[in-house]
Amino acid sequence: MKGHVVFVGAGPGDPELITLRGWNALQAADVVLYDSLVDERLLQGLDAELVFVGKRCGRHSMRQERISELLVRHALRGKRVVRLKGGDPTVLGRTGEEALRLAASGIPFEIVPGVSSALAAPAFAGIPVTHRGLADSVCIVSAHRRDDEQEFSIPPYSPRTTVVLLMAGQTAQSWLGQLLVRGYPANLPLAFITAATTAKQQVLVTTVGDAARSVAKAEFGGSPTLVVIGHVVSLRDSLAWYGEDAPEAPVFLAAASERDNGATNRSAVSCVR
Ligand SMILES: C[S@@+](CC[C@H](N)C(=O)[O-])C[C@H]1O[C@@H](n2cnc3c(N)ncnc32)[C@H](O)[C@@H]1O
């Protein structure tokens, strides 16, 4: 009997941000292949074989073809396989390649969307990615460029578009110069958001012109980092609700905060201007 594969988005960091459907798929799984951005508390207590296929401590991740092969192999053994990925599995997550491989082998699969960091991180930083009068479109872009690619995909400046750059922390010095070349004003606000939705969340607000200097002093501590660029970043001054800039810690998050090693959300966030 052939098994099947369920691609599940684990959400952006806080394990409570997985979907109910994703959670149910995990409980029913025989095998779970998971990435490094997945909070391992989601795996506790599962009656499943757990296979880590991500990158850890700078070591190379398992090759993409090998991951696809494993999915096929487990499914052909009749297993219910969950492929657990950070955020949403279809946002810069290589789900398409893995699903194409399954389709070619006639293996049934499902995709359970997740809460992408591209939207959750700005939300937890008090930055709505659209806002009437400020932005009516959002562009999610990879800041990672393969060696054989000449250009970053950063679009030319458009005042009503918010740009969210993923994989942006360690690559900042290479893409920052491109913003001015593409017409982004030097005084346009820009926010680096690190370890969003967790007790380690940090938000660094700066401008396109000052970003190179600010980021040289910043420490992201190896945590995942994305960047939001656009006028909506200025709303954080009034809308910060999570972390030390929040007027008070929301009651419904207090339990989650205690759960995260006793750290409080308020003390875990810093904002440098
Ligand atoms: C390979 S992409 C995968 C994105 C993922 N599929 C999603 O929807 O969030 C990894 C990048 O997502 C961003 N990211 C993921 N989790 C994050 C978090 N908790 N805080 C900030 N950025 C995060 C970082 O830019 C990181 O380098």
For the question of residue 167 being annotated catalytic, the response is: yes
Is residue 4 over pLDDT 60? yes
List the structure tokens of 114. Answer: 């997740």
CA of 106 to the centre of ligand 1 (A): 30
Asked if residue 95 and residue 145 are part of one domain, the reply reads: no
Asked if residue 250 and residue 127 are part of one domain, the reply reads: yes
- CATH number reported for the structural domain that contains residue 151 in this entry: 3.30.950.10
Per-residue pLDDT tens over the stretch 230-263: 999 999 999 999 977 677 766 666 556 566 654 4
Asked if residue 79 and residue 100 are part of one domain, the reply reads: yes
Asked if residue 211 and residue 93 are part of one domain, the reply reads: no
Average pLDDT of the chain, as a whole number? 89
pLDDT at residue 243 in the model = 76
pLDDT at residue 5 in the model = 98
pLDDT at residue 252 in the model = 66
Owning domain of residue 15: 4-112
Asked if residue 265 and residue 134 are part of one domain, the reply reads: yes
Residue identified by tokens 């409980």 is: 27
Asked if residue 255 and residue 164 are part of one domain, the reply reads: yes
pLDDT at residue 267 in the model = 29
Asked if residue 148 and residue 91 are part of one domain, the reply reads: no
Could you tell me the pLDDT band of residue 264, with boundaries at 50, 70 and 90?
Answer: very low
List the structure tokens of 143. Answer: 């800041």
Q: Is the CB of 226 under 6 A from ligand 1?
A: yes
Check if the beta carbon of residue 80 is closer than 8 Å to that of residue 54. Answer: no
Give the SS3 label for residue 32. Answer: strand
Per-residue pLDDT tens over the stretch 39-53: 999 999 999 999 999
Asked if residue 128 and residue 166 are part of one domain, the reply reads: yes
Q: How far apart are CA 146 and CA 167, in angstroms?
A: 12
- CATH number reported for the structural domain that contains residue 91 in this entry: 3.40.1010.10
Per-residue pLDDT tens over the stretch 89-107: 999 999 999 999 999 999 9
Q: Tell which wins on pLDDT, 83 or 257.
A: 83
Asked if residue 149 and residue 43 are part of one domain, the reply reads: no
pLDDT at residue 218 in the model = 83
Q: Which of 112, 129, 150 is the last residue of a domain?
A: 112
Q: How far apart are CA 161 and CA 132, in angstroms?
A: 12
Is residue 266 over pLDDT 80? no
The strand ranges marked E within the chain are 4-9, 31-34, 49-52, 80-85, 109-112, 137-142, 161-166, 189-194, 202-207, 225-229, 271-272
Asked if residue 149 and residue 90 are part of one domain, the reply reads: no
Asked if residue 13 and residue 77 are part of one domain, the reply reads: yes
pLDDT at residue 262 in the model = 47
Could you tell me the pLDDT band of residue 199, with boundaries at 50, 70 and 90?
Answer: very high
pLDDT at residue 57 in the model = 47
Q: Which of 78, 112, 146 is the last residue of a domain?
A: 112
Asked if residue 175 and residue 96 are part of one domain, the reply reads: no
Question: Which range has the worst mean pLDDT, 84-88, 111-115, 129-133, 150-154?
Answer: 150-154
H or E element that contains 244: none
Q: Which of 7, 37, 171, 201 to mutate to test the pocket of ligand 1 (most atoms within 8 A of CB)?
A: 37
For the question of residue 2 being annotated catalytic, the response is: no
pLDDT at residue 146 in the model = 74
Q: Is the CB of 129 under 6 A from ligand 1?
A: no
Q: Which of 112, 139, 155 is the last residue of a domain?
A: 112
What pTM was estimated for this model as a whole?
0.90
Q: How many structural domains comprise the chain? A: 2
Per-residue pLDDT tens over the stretch 124-148: 999 999 999 999 999 999 998 777 7
Q: Which atom of ligand 1 is nearest to the CA of 90?
A: 6
Is residue 198 over pLDDT 90? yes
**Residue type, position 145, single letter:** R
Question: Which range has the worst mean pLDDT, 75-84, 124-133, 167-176, 244-253?
Answer: 244-253
Is residue 268 over pLDDT 80? no
